[in-house]
């Protein structure tokens, strides 16, 4: 149990375009979902916390207008990287929490902006 | 400021050997401490979870220890295999912080034949 999926697993896009990444909890309802970014050889850095039905809370230094988060249901959260630039290239990981404190991580999405 | 520091940053060992990874934390009090394994290009997968009152937890060839007095945890890998090559991340959940986590920088382990 407690499986989290992400789609796509890998995406390449042109600079200036927008990219949407989906995070789904497959076998549980997640009241809270988290989005992380991970650069090579570094640990995960929390970008934002999203609660179903309310606005996401962004960490300091993360632009909310650039990284749009929608947590429309208890099993789905989306991260949209708007007007992507090469410096946005990174590994994006989501996690989902069913309310008991434990976070279950997705497999990650590799974004490459050309 | 809550911090989690891991050592070494990277480690190379021969297949079949044992190794121990270290985690020092300042997070206090905390709800639980987890060790995760993250393969390259994949999300973290939980290996062990320990609460404040637990001293050791095993999961196959992985054994985690916790010393709450010295605020140290270790992950011992026995009889290493090539598939153990990955990053190992120590993560602490601060008490009363809800779902928030404090991540260590990870140890990159490479197991060579």
Give A16 to chain B, closest Cα distance, Å.
25
Contact (CB<8Å) A103/B43 = no
Residue A42: the pLDDT is 87
Q: CB-CB: which of A32, A34, A110 is closest to B41?
A: A110
pLDDT at A53: 81
What pLDDT sits at residue A98?
A: 81
Strand partners for B63:
B58, B76
Contacts of B75 (CB under 8 A, 6+ apart): B20, B21, B23, B35, B47, B48, B62, B63, B64, B88, B90
Beta bridge pairs of residue A72: none
Q: Answer whether residue A80 shows pLDDT above 90.
A: yes
B98-108 burial by CB neighbour count: b if 16+ within 10 A, else e?
A: ebbbbbbbbbb
Residue of B nearest to A44 (CA): B103
Give the 3-state secondary structure of residue B83.
helix
Q: Nearest chain A residue to B100 by CA: give it.
A: A101
- State whether A107 and B108 contact (CB < 8 Å): no
Percent of chain B with pLDDT over 70: 97
* Confidence bin at B2 (pLDDT 50/70/90): low
Average pLDDT over residues B40-46: 91
pLDDT at A55: 87
Pick the residue from chain B with its C-alpha nearest to A36: B43
Residue A2 falls in which region: left (phi positive, over 0), alpha (psi -120 to 50) or beta: left
Contacts of B93 in chain A (CB under 8 A): 101
Does the pLDDT value for residue B33 go beyond 90?
Answer: yes
Average pLDDT over residues B97-104: 82
Question: Do B99 and A103 make contact, defined as CB atoms within 8 angstroms?
Answer: yes
Chain B stretch 52-111, residues whose beta carbon is closer than 8 A to a beta carbon of chain A: 89, 93, 98-101, 103-106, 108
Secondary structure letter of residue A83 according to DSSP: S
Pairwise CA distance, residues B33 & A71, whole Å:
28
Confirm or reject contact between A96 and chain B (CB < 8 A): no
H helix or E strand, kind and range, residue A48: strand A45-51
Half-sphere exposure in the Cβ direction for B93 (13 Å, CA): 20
Q: Which residues of A touch B32 (CB under 8 A)?
A: 101
């Amino acid at each position: 149990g407690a499986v989290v999926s992400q789609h796509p697993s890998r995406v390449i896009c042109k600079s200036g375009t927008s990219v949407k990444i989906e995070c789904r909890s497959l076998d549980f309802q997640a009241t809270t979902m988290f989005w992380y970014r991970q650069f090579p050889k570094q640990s995960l850095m929390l970008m934002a916390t999203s609660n179903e039905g309310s606005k996401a809370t962004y960490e300091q230094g993360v632009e909310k207008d650039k990284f749009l988060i929608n947590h429309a249901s208890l099993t789905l959260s989306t991260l949209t990287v708007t007007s992507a630039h090469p410096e946005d290239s990174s590994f994006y990981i989501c996690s989902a929490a069913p309310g008991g404190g434990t976070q279950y991580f997705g497999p990650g999405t590799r974004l490459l902006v050309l | 400021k809550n911090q989690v520091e891991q050592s070494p940053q990277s480690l190379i060992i021969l297949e079949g050997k044992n190794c121990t990874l270290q985690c020092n934390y300042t997070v206090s009090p905390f709800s639980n401490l987890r060790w995760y394994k993250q393969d390259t290009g994949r999300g973290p997968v939980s290996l062990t979870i320990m609460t404040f009152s637990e001293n050791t937890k095993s999961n196959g060839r992985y054994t985690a220890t916790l010393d709450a007095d010295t605020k140290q945890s270790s992950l011992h890998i026995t009889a290493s295999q090539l598939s153990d090559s990955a990053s190992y991340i120590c993560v602490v959940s601060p008490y009363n912080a809800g779902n928030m986590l404090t991540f260590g920088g990870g140890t990159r382990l490479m197991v060579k034949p």
